[in-house]
Amino acid sequence: EEKARGITINTAHVEYETANRHYAHVDCPGHADYIKNMITGAAQMDGAILVCSAADGPMPQTREHILLARQVGVPYIIVFLNKC
Indicate yes or no: pTM above 0.75. Answer: no
pLDDT, one tens digit per residue, over 12-21 is 778 899 999 8
* HSE-CB of 6 using CA atoms within 13 angstroms: 0
Domains and CATH numbers, the chain: 12-82 (3.40.50.300)
Q: What is the DSSP letter of 20?
A: S
CA-based angle 68:3:49, to the nearest 5?
Answer: 35
pLDDT, one tens digit per residue, over 23-53 is 888 776 666 666 776 777 777 788 888 888 8
Say whether 1 sits in a helix, a strand or coil.
Answer: coil
CB atoms under 10 Å from CB of 63, counted, come to 10
Beta bridge partners of 23: 16
Beta bridge partners of 17: 22
